[in-house]
Amino acid sequence: MKKIFNLLVITFLAAACTSGYDVCVYGGSSAAVTAAYSAAQMGRDVVIVSPDDRLGGLTTSGLGYTDIGNKQAVFGVAKQFYRKLGERYGRLESWIFEPSVALDVMEEYLDHPRITVLKGYRLEEIMKGGAEIKSITAVNDEGARIKVSASYFIDATYEGDLMARSGVSYHVGREDNSVYGEDWNGVQLLDRHQFPDGIDPYVEKGNPSSGLLWGISDAVPAPNGTGDGLSQAYNYRICLTDSLENMVPIEKPENYDPAHYELLLRLMEAQPDKCRLSDYFIWSLMPGRKTDVNNKGGFSTDMVGGNHAYPEASFQERQEIIQAHKDYTIGLLYFVGHDERVPASIREEMLKWGLPKDEYLETDHWTPQLYIRECRRMIGEYVATQKDCEQKTHIEDWVGMAAYTMDSHNCQRVVVVKDGVPMVKNEGNVEVKVGGPFPISYRSLTPKREECTNLLVPIALSASHIAYGSIRMEPVFMVLGQACGIATALADGIVQNADAAQIRSIMETDPYMDGSQADVIIDDGSPLVVVSEGWQQTKGRRGYGPTYYELKGDCTDAFVEYTLPDTLSGMWDIYCFQQLKDKTNPVMHYEIRIGEETYHKTFDRSEMKLVGQVSGEWFHLGGFELQADVRSVVNMYSDKCDLPLRADALLLVKK
């Protein structure tokens, strides 16, 4: 009876969804959430058609150790999301979190009268009229179909499925360096996340006729910089727990094959001094006694080479690839914990961990989201390249920023002959620093005008492989999703005509899309900051933004004074950014003068710890009642000169 009722509901939805919406967001990622929420807050009626049952993408599915690069690059609803997580964990912002907590926050954004969410529907057909998408048809696993028409469409999938089916130009794999005049695209046989020299690639050591070990390609690597159709490896970001009360033991998967991990054994044999889990996995601890486990070294959670068919595969073929990755990953965890050839110290550590009972209840406590690090990439109105990452271009129409390293995981595992000896090597890993936060053009979110005029693409956006390696971070996708949502309310029917400056202005003046007061940042270089002699403005990646003030040597009588804008009124929390990655600022004193009142606060770096992939934290100076036209200043000084002093941004948050 219940099944019949569900079918009736599905049939009703199918009929209801033939009516038009202002905006149709296809996909279930974090960008889908921010795009839908922002469009709805701009007065648009929005429908999310998601092939996924769990919304939020990687952000709600295990990637709790957020890849940031620089906090300056994260703003708008994305920053509010991390602030909301901070409320759950008792701090201003939280960049590490449990999947279920992230899901709760994401669903708050979708509880909106202008947003309809349809889960479990995958794209089947697109109808276009000229360069305009008229409608899409989607189907679920039970065969029910929905047809959705809308004025604008946003492809918020990791795969770029709607974009590709719309007749928009795109690329799969790595471009040759010559295409965009780059250095780090194409084949890259380098030394990071690599096997040491000498590891034999053959099933029977020294015998090529015995065949290659599982996971090794018989392809001959091309010269560095050569383009090909390969994408960087996928994996799962793994949530485990060591809480016995909350633990489900890791069982041997149905398709378990210990031969898949022979290379790991040979790697362990080659480095006997590495005998801890952390030598083979990035084992990041999350709140709630949980983890975000990621790939590390020559052989780990990346199923190198297992994803090459995925971008252009059918739905069924993709399901098989996803299942193969799941079998590989759970099998790897089981192997490390149970195979007696693994060093006992590693096995003992592994057996302390299991799946969390309170996560992923619908999917047997295992994340449903494979980490699709890179799939299709649109070739749109503007292609972001290495030059953008290096800040060698001038982008006026920017609507978001990226700041992460130009990062690619390995693409293939090959045999290399060195000094006459064949050995296994990984190929494709690149980790090259960018020149600080760099702007992302609105044109990178839009197709070429002649190809489609009502589609926006915040994830499978227009970028080269190596530029995408920097852009492809969840906070950035969320920012770009917000930009796309706003654009649907500003465009005149043609997304390419939306004014990027107007989009950016809305994100700056109303960042959370709810009319609340925007934060006030007073950073170094501002006319509101005065420093005494000896301070030098310094470039660096440790601070908030690209620069900060630094003082080395005698700090007697040294100070930095921040004058608060005299237009502010009401209760404001005041924070200062403290760099904690380096040995700086042993003890800092703050004198806060609000009109005639004076307050004092002392920062001791030993009392603060780094949490997540950050270089520093916001130190709370307190909450203060500000009055317009009343002079208010924050004065920073120190009486300890044994370490360099650094002065960075001041943050004001309206209560």
Last residue of a domain, one of 336, 363, 390: 363
Q: Which of 451, 455, 382 is nearest to 27 (CA)?
A: 455
Tens of pLDDT, residue by residue over 93-124, are 999 999 999 999 999 999 999 999 999 999 99
The torsion of the CA quartet 180, 177, 431, 416, rounded to 10 degrees, works out to: 170
As a whole number, mean pLDDT of residues 220-224 equals 95
As a whole number, mean pLDDT of residues 572-578 equals 96
For the record, the structure tokens of 338 come out as 């149970």
Q: Which of 470, 464, 472 is nearest to 380 (CA)?
A: 464
Quick check: 5 pLDDT over 70? no
Establish if 239 belongs to a structural domain: no
The pLDDT, as a whole number, for residue 10 is: 46
For the record, the structure tokens of 590 come out as 């703050």
Tens of pLDDT, residue by residue over 364-392, are 999 999 999 999 999 999 999 999 999 99
- Report the sign of the C-alpha dihedral through residues 528, 533, 535, 537, in that order: positive
Last residue of a domain, one of 363, 395, 427: 363
Q: What three-state secondary structure class fits 341?
A: coil
Quick check: 563 pLDDT over 70? yes
Region of residue 569 (left: phi > 0; alpha: psi -120 to 50; beta: else): beta
| pLDDT tier, 227 (very low <50, low <70, confident <90, very high otherwise) | very high
Q: Which of 124, 144, 123 is nearest to 3 (CA)?
A: 144
Establish if 474 belongs to a structural domain: no
- Contact in structure between 357 and 247 (CB atoms under 8 Å): yes
Tens of pLDDT, residue by residue over 395-417, are 999 999 999 999 999 999 999 99
Please, is 641 exposed, middle or buried when counting C-beta atoms within 10 Å of its C-beta (0-12, 13-18, 19+)?
middle
**What span, in angstroms and rounded, lies between the C-alpha atoms of 145 and 163?**
20
Tens of pLDDT, residue by residue over 33-44, are 999 999 999 999
CA distances from 393 to 71, 390, 462, 466, 546 (A): 22, 8, 16, 16, 17
Pairing state between β 398-402 and 438-441: antiparallel
Mean pLDDT of the chain: 95
- Report the sign of the C-alpha dihedral through residues 321, 325, 326, 331, in that order: positive
The pLDDT, as a whole number, for residue 8 is: 42
Going by the DSSP 8-state scheme, the letter that residue 57 receives in this structure is G
**What span, in angstroms and rounded, lies between the C-alpha atoms of 434 and 546?**
11
Establish if 104 belongs to a structural domain: no
**What span, in angstroms and rounded, lies between the C-alpha atoms of 499 and 35?**
17
Last residue of a domain, one of 311, 331, 363: 363
CATH of the domain at 578: 2.60.120.260
Region of residue 27 (left: phi > 0; alpha: psi -120 to 50; beta: else): left
- Contact in structure between 209 and 488 (CB atoms under 8 Å): no
Establish if 250 belongs to a structural domain: yes
Tens of pLDDT, residue by residue over 162-219, are 999 999 999 999 999 999 999 999 999 999 999 999 999 999 999 999 999 999 999 9
The backbone torsions φ and ψ at residue 260, rounded to the nearest 5 degrees and listed phi first, read -65, -15
Q: 19-28, 322-331, 453-462 — which is least confidently predicted?
A: 19-28
Quick check: 559 pLDDT over 70? yes
The backbone torsions φ and ψ at residue 250, rounded to the nearest 5 degrees and listed phi first, read -80, 115
Structural domains of the chain, count: 2
Establish if 421 belongs to a structural domain: no
DSSP line for 160-206 = -HHHHHTT--EEESBPPHHHHT-SSSS----STT-PPTT---EEETT
- Domain residues for the domain of 644 are 520-654
Quick check: 4 pLDDT over 60? no
The pLDDT, as a whole number, for residue 546 is: 85
**What span, in angstroms and rounded, lies between the C-alpha atoms of 357 and 173?**
38
Establish if 126 belongs to a structural domain: no
Going by the DSSP 8-state scheme, the letter that residue 516 receives in this structure is P
- Contact in structure between 535 and 543 (CB atoms under 8 Å): no
CB count within 10 Å of CB 92 equals 16
Find the largest Cα–Cα distance for the chain. 86
Establish if 153 belongs to a structural domain: no
Q: Which of 284, 287, 277, 288 is nearest to 245 (CA)?
A: 288
Pairing state between β 170-172 and 520-522: unpaired
| pLDDT tier, 17 (very low <50, low <70, confident <90, very high otherwise) | low
For the record, the structure tokens of 456 come out as 């926006």
Establish if 217 belongs to a structural domain: no
- Report the sign of the C-alpha dihedral through residues 188, 192, 197, 199, in that order: negative
| pLDDT tier, 606 (very low <50, low <70, confident <90, very high otherwise) | confident
Pairing state between β 570-579 and 616-626: antiparallel
Q: Which residues, 6+ apart, have CB-to-CB distance to 607 below 8 Å?
A: none
Tens of pLDDT, residue by residue over 416-472, are 999 999 999 999 999 999 988 999 999 999 999 999 999 999 999 999 999 999 999
The pLDDT, as a whole number, for residue 19 is: 67
